[in-house]
Structure 1
Amino acid sequence: MKKFSIVIAGGGSTFTPGIVLMLLDNLDRLPIRQIKFYDNLAERQDHIADACRIIINEKAPEINFVSTTNPKEAFTDVDFVMAHIRVGLYAMREKDEKIPMKHGVVGQETCGPGGIAYGMRSIGGVLELIDYMERYSPDAWMLNYSNPAAIVAEATRKLRPHSKIINICDMPVGIEERMAQSIGLKSRKEMVVRYYGLNHFGWWTDIRDLEGNDLMPQIKKHVSQHGYSLLEEVEASQHVDASWMDTFAKAKDLYAVDPETLPNTYLKYYLYPQDAMEHEDPDYTRANQVMDGREKHVFGECDKIVERGTSEGMTLEIDEHASYIVDLARAIAYNTHERMLLIVENKGAVANFDETAMVEVPCIVGVNGPEPLVQGEIPRFQKGMMEQQVAVEKLVVEAWAENSYQKLWQALTLSKTVPNARVAKELLDDLLEANQEFWPELH
């Protein structure tokens, strides 16, 4: 049986150990002969890699492990590139959140002005990874979950149209797990869903069990009362802290706007931006929580593992959500025709919507990648919101490609979270100042 070679691009990420543990936990489903880490920040990656080398040696000593900052070494002889990079690290995420809040606008890493700023940083980084992969392992596939996925997906569609990249997001997976638990199912894999939207911007229209019975009425009943909060929050996972609890509860209000469908939680930033702002401390945002929480914890644990020379007793956790990536890699490698929610070029999947929009819809995945399933026509409310948002995403990518200040101003003006063009321009000037070292030069 073929064993696969994987490079994790973003080896210094706090999510990398969880992904490694998840890959090791799934070797019966996806056999691996080699895991490589690639990052452009050696010191940060070394902390994570030195610990992961010990973990891999203990759990699967037959796997060859390489950690490098050399693109040729990283991208040669690989089957899959699993990419999760954060250009500018959490220090820039903090600015993405705090600068909009100074202007009375919601500060969030993938939505609104923060997402636009992050997108302008991410595009170049992701294109660089694609180019390395195509140069050194032209038959490989890139499974990309670098954020903001919607803008990155539009950039790859427009600027690398023939690349073998699949853009994915685990947020719908997390919400579907909650739906399943809320009605007593063991796993989201017991559900078959229909869904349409853009990344972080979508709606479920039909959910059935494997026998074809309609589960929507039960799930809607739960969401109308509790949102996606579970009656007892059983496990403390990465998504269960105060701000996530608030997000899951808020789904109740999102659902009320259109009780025909079930909403993605990120819609709260577009439908209720003022409410989202109320819960935020402008001096201590989500980025600060992550830097003081997960980042310290993961780096501290990795250093302990290296110090002790063993992973015994470690508190690093398997990233369960990331098992979605194994499903995707398996579907391509073994032509399993698994049904998965992915971000793909529309081309008629949503009949009454822009053909070139990058939409998030169910796809059947096989050796040739994803084949989108037609979701039909969508209602005016969702279509109107999606058209506004897809225009924002396309303008951001055009601004990046054309070095256009004007188009970025237009993108910010169109964003549903920004009140008017004057605020958009003030925001742009502040974000431009903060991102000088990362954005292309705009004029």
Structure 2
Amino acid sequence: MSKDGLKIVTIGGGSSYTPELIEGYIKRKDLLPISEIVLVDIEAGRHKLDIVGEMAKRMVKAAGLDWTVTLTLDRKSALKDADFVTTQFRVGLLDARVKDERIPLSHGVLGQETNGAGGMFKAFRTIPVILDIIEDMKTQCPDAWLVNFTNPAGMVTEAAIKHGGWKKTVGLCNVPIGHRKMAAEKLDIPEEDLFFKFAGINHFHWHRVWDKQGQERTHEVIDAIYKPTDEDQESHLKNIHNASFHYEQIRALEMLPCGYHRYYYAEDEMLKHSIEEFEKGETRAQVVKKTEARLFELYKDPELDYKPEELSQRGGTHYSDAACEIIAAIQNDLRTEMVVSTENNGTVTDLPYDCAVEVSGVVTSHGFEPYNWGSFTPEARGVIQGMKGMEETVIRAAIDGDYNRALSAFIVNPLVPGGVVAKDILDQMLYAHKDHLPQFADKIREIEENQPDTINYVDELMKSN
């Protein structure tokens, strides 16, 4: 930190989530001696950056703070002397997410932002960019912390640490926050009086819970949420369908599942619902585009100087607040208990030592200290090892532009059928995302020259978007 205070840089500053980020900094003004917040975006996001950036300035002014809020498209210059760098960008913007969802669903295969074919393609587009950001950080702010909440957060964080060599990286997700709050509500015990242990990988973790008397309360929470009643099972996730888990299976696990486990434990219902949305032209990305359009109309109001309630409908509530919390914890050595994606280092013995895991621990001034988890039961161990192998394959394919590895990842991903379907979807998505996949340029050129049916299929499908 310079003598003038903290400099915090946000890559993807034109995001609709930025007001929550600014609100989080303001709430922690006594812990964060901020001098400058820099919001960075790309030319395609200039319009949104201007709107949300002006709103950020109004929020800071309304709070009576003298922080400088800078808007720029020059990422490298923005990073100069940064203390913290947060990332919340989407390569290809929401139109890319539309393709991630609609192309697989047109084949009756799940399309989703972080799971299945869509999640893998988001990683293909995003990982090279996070590594480019790290190369800039090496010269511009070599001592800065990288706080990533760009999805797929686990794979992006692993690429940053393992392949970018940026050890001062933590990955964040809002999902564990909601799970903690729900457990506290079901037990009617304040959240701060409970102890939680999460372990797994991003969007594929489990957790257990104890009270202050040392009694494990996991089974009570399982019963309260998943035991069959006349009412639907509860979910705090606004962005995915609330399919029901099998109570008997969750009892056997003896752990509480992540909400995103629905894509695997209730795959048939989740796929059916996703296909229905696709056929109505209402995939999640298409809905979010409309939600974002409404939000940015609100943000244009020169009188608006606070985060509007409508932002909670966007689906990422608590993401930005978690980022502010971890920055405050590192800055002040608060030893705050959080759940983050971090280097495994033996925390989960069933997974590679140098991979990224999502686990509980405490945040110190020197980084994140995870709580040891040990091994999973067989019911969880088999699936998580397969998922981690898939993630490692995706990361290597993203870095090297290796088509063979990309196809291998598709085939081993449990949400993508093998054989002809996997290859068809892969080729169609490579063509659809060609502007954002330079590492696959040779293969994409081959597809364009030799596979007219692939090109026609994608072009016709996206016309109906």
TM > 0.5:
yes
Contact (CA 8 Å) 1:348, 1:355: kept in 2 or not? yes
Distance 1:297 1:106 in 2: 27
User: What's 2:401 paired with?
Assistant: 403
Give how far 1:313 is off: 10
When the two structures are aligned, how many residues end up with a matched partner?
Answer: 428
User: Is residue 90 of structure 2 the alignment partner of residue 86 of structure 1?
Assistant: yes
Instruction: Decide whether aligned partners of structure 1 residues 81 and 424 sit closer, same or farther in structure 2, where only a CA change above 3 A counts.
Output: same
User: What's 2:9 paired with?
Assistant: 7
User: What's 1:216 paired with?
Assistant: 218
Instruction: Decide whether aligned partners of structure 1 residues 146 and 213 sit closer, same or farther in structure 2, where only a CA change above 3 A counts.
Output: same
Which amino acid in 2 is paired with 1:203?
W
Equivalent residue runs for 1:11-30 within 5 Å:
11-30=13-32
Identity value in percent: 27
Q: 1:304 aligns with which of 301, 305, 324?
A: 301
Distance 2:91 2:118 in 1: 13
Instruction: Decide whether aligned partners of structure 1 residues 77 and 154 sit closer, same or farther in structure 2, where only a CA change above 3 A counts.
Output: closer
Distance 1:348 1:316 in 2: 41
- Deviates most, 174-183 or 96-105: 174-183
User: Is residue 58 of structure 2 the alignment partner of residue 61 of structure 1?
Assistant: no
* Structure 1: gaps spanning 5 or more residues: none
User: Is residue 127 of structure 2 the alignment partner of residue 123 of structure 1?
Assistant: yes
Which amino acid in 1 is paired with 2:50?
D
User: What's 1:261 paired with?
Assistant: 255
Q: 2:391 aligns with which of 390, 393, 415?
A: 393
TM-score (ref. length: structure 2): 0.85
Distance 1:2 1:185 in 2: 42
Which amino acid in 2 is paired with 1:154?
E
Equivalent residue runs for 1:32-431 within 5 Å:
32-40=34-42, 41-186=45-190, 188-204=191-207, 206-225=208-227, 239-240=237-238, 244=240, 246-247=241-242, 250-251=244-245, 256=250, 258-280=252-274, 281-282=277-278, 283-293=281-291, 295-305=292-302, 308=303, 311=305, 320-431=318-429
Distance 1:313 1:200 in 2: 26
Contact (CA 8 Å) 2:20, 2:321: kept in 1 or not? no
Contact (CA 8 Å) 1:154, 1:393: kept in 2 or not? no
Runs of 4+ in structure 1 off by over 4 angstroms are 229-233, 251-255, 312-321
TM-score (ref. length: structure 1): 0.89
Give how far 1:279 is off: 1.5
Give how far 1:404 is off: 1.0
* 1:212 match: secondary structure: coil
* 1:437 match: secondary structure: helix
Contact (CA 8 Å) 2:232, 2:244: kept in 1 or not? no
Which amino acid in 1 is paired with 2:19?
P
* Structure 2: gaps spanning 5 or more residues: 444-465
Distance 2:189 2:163 in 1: 42
Distance 2:84 2:228 in 1: 39
Distance 1:178 1:420 in 2: 37
Give how far 1:296 is off: 1.5
Contact (CA 8 Å) 2:19, 2:306: kept in 1 or not? no
Give how far 1:255 is off: 5.3
Give how far 1:29 is off: 3.3
- Deviates most, 79-88 or 24-33: 24-33
* 1:8 match: secondary structure: strand
Q: Deviations over 1:86-138 (max 9, x none)?
A: 11111110110111111111111000100001110111221222222232121
* 2:300 match: secondary structure: helix
- Deviates most, 106-115 or 387-396: 387-396
Which amino acid in 2 is paired with 1:18?
E
- Deviates most, 58-67 or 140-149: 58-67
Q: Deviations over 1:272-310 (max 9, x none)?
A: 2221022221122000111112x02221111112xx5x5
Distance 1:226 1:168 in 2: 32
Distance 2:384 2:171 in 1: 18
Contact (CA 8 Å) 2:250, 2:257: kept in 1 or not? no
